[in-house]
Amino acid sequence: MSPTIRFNDGKAIPQLGFGVWQVPNEGANAAVTAAIEAGYRSIDTAAIYGNEQGVGDALAASSVSDIFLTTKLWNSEQGYDSALKAFDASLKKLRRDKIDLYLIHWPVPSRDRYVDSWKALIRLREDGRVASIGVSNFQIAHLERLKAETGVVPAINQVELHPRFQQKELRAYHAKEGIVTEAWSPLGQGTLLQDPVLVALAKKHNKTAAQVILRWHLDTGNVVIPKSVTPSRIVENFQVFDFKLAPEDISEIEKLDSAKGKIGPDPDTFA
């Protein structure tokens, strides 16, 4: 079973969850069902993934009721009224009257609507329609603005984070402000799995490189949401609670951080 991490609002999220980006709607039911069977109790989707319906079908059919569910507000729907509407549409597809966590997917500073969107999320939380609210891909300047203009600090910031892009400065800021760090593309979208350092650590612990990376995230304090549609890998990625990395293993992984390690878009310009 995954440990949980506590938010600044008193709620908690399972530290290891399951991400469904690029899982087609028709495949989402099977993937989420396999994940729940493997022990995952947290699912990360988004309106833009186009699979909220498939996720909702899997959750409705499952005998496990305590699944932590996250979805995200897409960029084109930013703004106060449009965010409230987009939330309703997501809930309908997810077949829920309430979810655990709603995130602003990207800051999109060029449109300058993330503060208004944040006010909508605050309202949704006040109305009890979402338990916790957070953001994704926010840089320090964006987070500072939310705090200055609303006084409400996000529970969590979901950002690109993996051994080649460790986000040390942002993580330190999160720690200071009481924001939980969540890692997207935690396996570097699979590109890290052949890295010789990680392969050697996998051999040392009799685990796979994916498991070593996920263990590193857990030891670092990140919430982490690996994705796979392959049932054996879904299981493999959850088998990370029966070993520990040594301090020297963690130091080795810390050395993989690189200025060129980023895979995804730049949050300051992505629209």
Q: Would you please indicate which residues are annotated as catalytic (active-site) residues?
A: 49
Radius of gyration of the chain (CA): 18
Q: Which is nearer to ligand NAD, 91 or 137 (CB)?
A: 137
Strand partners, 156: 180
Q: Which is nearer to ligand NAD, 185 or 220 (CB)?
A: 185
Least Å from the CB of residue 5 to ligand NAD: 16
* Cα 152 from Cα 247, distance rounded (Å): 36
Looking only at residues 205 through 264 of this chain, which bind ligand NAD when binding is defined by CB under 6 A?
210, 225-228, 233, 236-237
Counting contacts by CB under 6 A, is residue 156 touching ligand NAD? no
Backbone angles phi, psi at 28, to 5 degrees: -65, -40
Stretch that binds ligand NAD, among 73-81, 107-115, 169-177, 182-190 (CB under 6 A): 182-190
Counting contacts by CB under 6 A, is residue 190 touching ligand NAD? yes
Cβ neighbourhood burial of 242 (10 Å; 0-12, 13-18, 19+): exposed
Least Å from the CB of residue 56 to ligand NAD: 16
Which region, left, alpha or beta, applies to residue 244 given φ > 0 means left and ψ of -120 to 50 means alpha?
beta
* Cα 225 from Cα 183, distance rounded (Å): 7
Q: Which of 28, 133, 188, 222 binds ligand NAD (CB under 6 A)?
A: 188
Looking only at residues 53 through 72 of this chain, which bind ligand NAD when binding is defined by CB under 6 A?
none
Counting contacts by CB under 6 A, is residue 15 touching ligand NAD? no
